[in-house]
Amino acid sequence: MKTAKQILGNRGEELICKYFACFKCKKRNTFKRLINNFKCADLICDFCGYLAQVKTKTVKDINSFPKTILGAAWQPQKERMDAGIYFSLILVLISESNPKNYSVYYLPAELQTKEMFKERKKLSTNAKRAGWQGFNYDGSIIKDFATRIV
């Protein structure tokens, strides 16, 4: 069984694969989804090898950039940043009232900085994944660097 969060995430990835040309080589229908547990990226262009992360969020207003976006595991993200490695981010905002309405924002890897990634508290010992630590994207910084493409 897929969780609601996974279904939403898949929806964003499917939209990008279906309707968007690769952001690097501009070819169409070349984006392929990586397996769910693949850590650093969600999509790969099977022509040029371009990698991207896709985040999908349901929002009231698709025209306003969210203050915060749930990221993923903090530890690998931190290690990557320490090594100066970033992956392009595609943010899909889906309208709460009409799921057919969506907007897409793009933040290229070369514009990313450590400040855009906010470490979250470790999960408490009672949590299912006790001790696990995630991060959020800081929308208040990212909004000035991301480009809306749809």
Among 22, 52, 90, 93, binds Zn ion (CB under 5 A): 22
Q: Say how far apart CA 88 and CA 139 lie, in whole Å.
A: 15
Q: What angle do CA 14, 88, 29 make, to 5 degrees?
A: 35
Complex with Zn ion: residue 52 or 107, whichever CB lies closer: 52
Asked if 90 interacts with Zn ion (CB under 5 A), we say: no
| 26 vs 114 by CB, closer to Zn ion | 26
Report, in Å, the least distance between residue 17 CB and Zn ion: 12
Q: Does 24 bind Zn ion (CB under 5 A)?
A: yes
**Total residues contacting Zn ion (rule CB under 5 A)?**
7
Contact string 34-53 vs Zn ion (x = CB under 5 A): -----------x-xx-x---
Question: Is the Cβ–Cβ distance between 56 and 92 less than 8 Å?
Answer: yes
User: Which is closer to Zn ion, CB of 16 or CB of 142?
Assistant: 16
Give CA–CA dist 127/62, Å, rounded.
32
The dihedral through the CA atoms of 56, 58, 59, 63 has a sign that is positive
Q: Which of 7, 21, 25, 73 binds Zn ion (CB under 5 A)?
A: 25
7/25 with CB nearer Zn ion: 25
Whose structure tokens read 């010992």? 125
Residues 6+ apart with CB under 8 A from 92: 11, 12, 15, 16, 54, 55, 56, 57, 102, 103, 104
Residue closer to Zn ion (CB basis): 44 or 94: 44
Interface ranges with Zn ion (CB under 5 A): 22, 24-25, 45, 47-48, 50
